[in-house]
Structure 1
Amino acid sequence: MGATVLFLPSPSASGSWGSTVRLAAIAEECRRRGDRVVFHACEPTDALLRERGLEVAPFRGIAPASLARGPIDTFHDICEVLGFSEPASWERLLRDEDDMIAEVAPDVVVADMRPTAPLSAARHGVPLVACAWAGADPRLHASGDHPYDDLARAVAAKWCDLVPDSMAELMFWRSDRQLALSFPAFEPELADAPAVAYTGYLRDTWRPAGGEARPPVPERLVVVYASSSPWGVPRIADALDEAARRAAVTVWCVLRSDTPARRLSDRCEVFRYLPMDDVLPESAALVFHGGLSTALASVHYGAPALAVPGRHYERRRNADRLGAMGLGITGELGDLLPSRLSALFERLVDDTGLTAAAETARAEAARYGGAAAAADAVHGLL
């Protein structure tokens, strides 16, 4: 009989595709090993997980702040966007988790972007695995005197015997094991974090039932994921089409969720759903917004990348790391004009320095076990 593993994803009703998919990959590997896997998740995360056949106990999520706010310059800005500022929301979530842990009786808890998880795990004496990322390293992104840090200490004092130094320290380091779901070359800052294990990239192996087969991958394919800010610029599909024509490449792109699939020309096609784990192994290059999951996919598959992160500190940090590793270029919104974008397409596909660095990164990334390594770390606490 396997263990019971309780997964606690972000409680924000804004959703987090990358974080959810990473946790689902770990859960599916644990399930393959005979474990019972249970998620405590809110909308829209719960629907994504149920679609994958995972057991979900729902709860009412924390309402996010306006997603149209200004620049994301700090870790605390992320917390504000996710809606983590209200003590009443923490208290409600802690009561829900109290009931959930009592009902499920987990052997271990796995959490990501869940500020209450360490408090609930400590209250019930359950081992906790937390996902760590450099953008929330408390040595770099926590002063200890921010109002969110005061909030974390105040709620912890009422709920258990933990005394956190900061919100970031509570959320990511107050655990028995930290999972760096990446590579030392990409997040070297975490190498000396307490109880850290690098797992490498976590592939998403799930595919929707009855999904349409994608066409064969053409030569000189550039995959563009433009579904998030700062990509809300007018006529982006037309700009991609024209840039593809000028650079003699083919572009497959995913735009915002309400954008219908369509074929603009022989050079440019818009998809509603395009799993990066299906296309990046055969693609020449990648263009995206700088998000962590896609940046790690670039490393894992050895795809030279153009990142356009906008005013978001964590995405810009990811873009800078790809650049430091030699396989990435950081762009600005002005680079989305066809004349500039076509030149960048040509560089991504034809620059031998970029492609050589990408191949070196891919070979190094292949040493890591991905979801299997993550599940090993979880089972190591049983």
Structure 2
Amino acid sequence: MAGATVLFLPYPSTSGSWGSVMNLVALAQECRGRGDRAVFHACPPTAELLRRQGFEVLPVEGVPPRETPRAVDTFYDVCTALGFDDRAFWDRVLRSEEEAVQAVRPDALVSHMRLTAPITAARHGIPLASCGGWSTDPRVQASGTHPLDEMAGQLASTWSALTVRSISELVFWRADLRMVTSVPIFEPDFVDLPNTLYTGYLRPMTEAEPPWSRPVPDRLVLAYASNAPWGVPRVVEALATAAERAGAVLWCVARAGGPTGRVSAHCEVFSYLPFEALLGRAGAVVFHGGQATALASLCHGVPALAVPGRHYERRYNATRLAELGTSVTGDLAVLRPSRLATILQRLLDDDIRSAAASAHRSTYEHGGVVSTVDAIHRLIGC
């Protein structure tokens, strides 16, 4: 089949979730480069980003996230915080997906955190590839007794012939092709599963050099505090002091709307930094333990300090990095100048750099957009 039509279904949250969206953008760009029609069914602000990338976008209503709780201990907490417990909202999404399928006539669906995707795929007999991983694996994340599981079962039985026991089944497990957005050394639990593919690190696009075109300093540490509970001025001050003591230069992305500018000769705060352009040349990265940055640190061979807080997925990611020897895991208590300086010196100078380089060799060439789109094409008979 030449020139397939692929309908991409990012999860419809108005929070944006750029990391997961960029994974789908990477796949869509590869599809488009092969002559496929790549269409997105997306809500704002994701829709605007996709249109700027030149993609065709069909609109869908987005759900606003609730205030993030202090502790995110389970996948159910994630779904609740995202506002995914509103059954009426998902009914509206399914009606919108019906319209999208009728308009586009896709040969395949590719989804991320879209629990309606397997229902729509089953209703129309369309092959489905879904992104997921440990954090959405029903073998470890589903109780089968949570109210969200009941809602998922009712949604599936009302709109299709599917029978499901948990919401995580819909998010990831019931796809024809399960795409684990990771690598085996980081998330080994899927190695022997049928119809499952490790995508590796899906670089979405080659980002431009920093617009200020300044040279990248030696001993650069990148700190991503934009989505973390510790992205506050006092922590930035601690980072600045620690960077000076460690003989490093720290560039930090702060919370949206927060103050930016030069804090000291060793620290500057930005509203945005071009991730792909800088990470490969950085000496270390400080982040909250999210999967995208965790995998990126492995891919680029960059030692990390992960500060996951009480978030089940971030703690898993931080633990896995530490087990691989490429990261130090810390809690909020480490974000004090003296302790931070010691950790930064270790990341920049210690044997941890050798472990990071070894992980880089194991992950850099694994998977990628070409082999992942090859698998999607095989799914639909291209």
Corresponding pairs, count: 379
Segment drifting more, 50-59 vs 229-238: 229-238
Contact kept? 1:322, 1:328, Cα under 8 Å = yes
Give the deviation of 1:213 after TM superposition. Answer: 4.2
- The one-letter code matched in structure 1 to 2:148 is Y
In structure 1, the residue matched to 2:239 is: 240
Matched, 1:203 2:203: yes
Structure 2 contact 107–126 (Cα < 8 Å) conserved = yes
In structure 1, the residue matched to 2:226 is 227
Question: Equivalent residue of 1:381, what SS?
Answer: helix
1:259 is the counterpart of 2:237: no
Contact 1:181/1:370 (<8 A) preserved: no
Output one character per residue of 1:43-85: Cα deviation in whole Å (capped at 9) or x when no partner.
1211221222222111221232223x23000000001011111
Q: Which residue matches 2:120?
A: 120
- What is the TM-score when the length of structure 1 is the normalising length? 0.96
- Partner Cα separation in structure 2 for residue 340 and residue 211 of structure 1: 30
What whole-Å deviation, never above 9, does each CA across 1:304-360 have from its counterpart, x for those lacking one?
A: 1000011101001000000011101111111111111111111111112x1111011
Contact 1:230 1:309 in 2 (8 A): no
Counterpart residue number, 1:158: 158
What does residue range 273-284 of structure 1 map to in structure 2 within 5 Å? 273-284=272-283
Larger deviation, residues 257-266 vs 268-277: 257-266
Amino acid at match of 1:55: E
* Equivalent-residue separation in structure 1 for 2:177 and 2:224 (angstroms): 32
Correspondence for 1:355? 353
- Measure, in 1, the Cα distance between the counterparts of 2:139 and 2:251: 40
- The Cα of 1:99 is off from its aligned counterpart by 0.6
Q: Retained in 2: the 8 A contact 1:52–1:206?
A: no
Deviates more, 1:222-231 or 1:233-242: 233-242
Offset from partner CA, 1:27-55 (integer Å, 9 cap, x none)? 11111111111110111211221222222
More displaced stretch, 79-88 vs 231-240 = 231-240
Q: Deviations over 1:114-164 (max 9, x none)?
A: 010100111011100000211111101101111111111111111111111
Match of 2:362 in 1: 364
Q: Provide structure 2 residue ranges, at least 5 long, that are not aligned to the other structure.
A: none
Q: Which letter maps to 2:168?
A: A
Cα distance in 2 for residues equivalent to 1:283 and 1:211: 13
Q: Partner residue of 2:312?
A: 313
Aligned to 1:48: 49
Cα separation, 1, equivalents of 2:52 and 2:255: 20
Letter in 2 for 1:292: Q
Is the 8 Å Cα contact of residues 225 and 255 (structure 2) preserved in structure 1?
yes
Partners in 1 of 2:269 and 2:233 — Cα distance?
Answer: 15
Bigger shift: residues 56-65 or 94-103 = 56-65
Alignment match, 2:191 = 191
Q: Note if contact 1:128-1:177 (Cα within 8 Å) is conserved in structure 2.
A: yes
Could you report, residue by residue, the CA deviation over 1:74-118 in whole angstroms, capped at 9, with x for unpaired residues? 000001011111111111110000010111000100000001010
Instruction: Show the counterpart of 2:137.
Output: 137
Shift of 1:374: 1.7
Judged with a 3 Å threshold, the aligned counterparts in structure 2 of structure 1 residues 53 and 213 are, in CA distance, closer, same or farther, namely: farther
More off after superposition, 288-297 vs 193-202: 193-202
Q: Which residue of 1 aligns with 2:179?
A: 179
CA deviation after TM superposition for structure 1 residue 235, in Å = 2.3
Q: Distance in 1 between matches of 2:200 and 2:81?
A: 28
CA positional deviation for 1:281:
1.1
Does structure 1 residue 59 correspond to structure 2 residue 60? yes
Identical counterparts, % of pairs: 51
> Which residue type is aligned with residue 310 of structure 1?
G
Deviation per CA, 1:150-184: give whole Å up to 9, x if none. Answer: 11111111111111121111210111101112110
**Structure 1 residue runs without a partner (length 5+):** none
Corresponding residue SS for 1:5: strand
Aligned: 1:286 with 2:289: no
Aligned to 2:371: 373
Are the aligned partners of 1:152 and 1:166 in contact in 2 as well (CA < 8 Å)? yes
What is the 5 A alignment of 1:10-21? 10-21=11-22
d(CA) in 2 for partners of 1:348 and 1:151? Answer: 45
How far apart, in 2, do the equivalents of 1:361 and 1:95 lie? 44
Structure 1 residues 214 and 260, CA gap change in structure 2 (3 angstroms): farther
State the distance in 2 between where 1:214 and 1:259 align: 23
1: CA distance, partners of 2:200 / 2:35:
23
Alignment partner, residue 85 of structure 1: 85
- Residue type at the aligned position of 1:175: A
CA–CA separation in structure 1 for the residues paired with 2:48 and 2:258: 20
Query: Can you list the C-alpha shifts for 1:258-308, whole angstroms capped at 9, x where unaligned?
Result: 235422222112222212211111111111000010000001000010000
Deviation at 1:192, TM superposition (A): 2.8
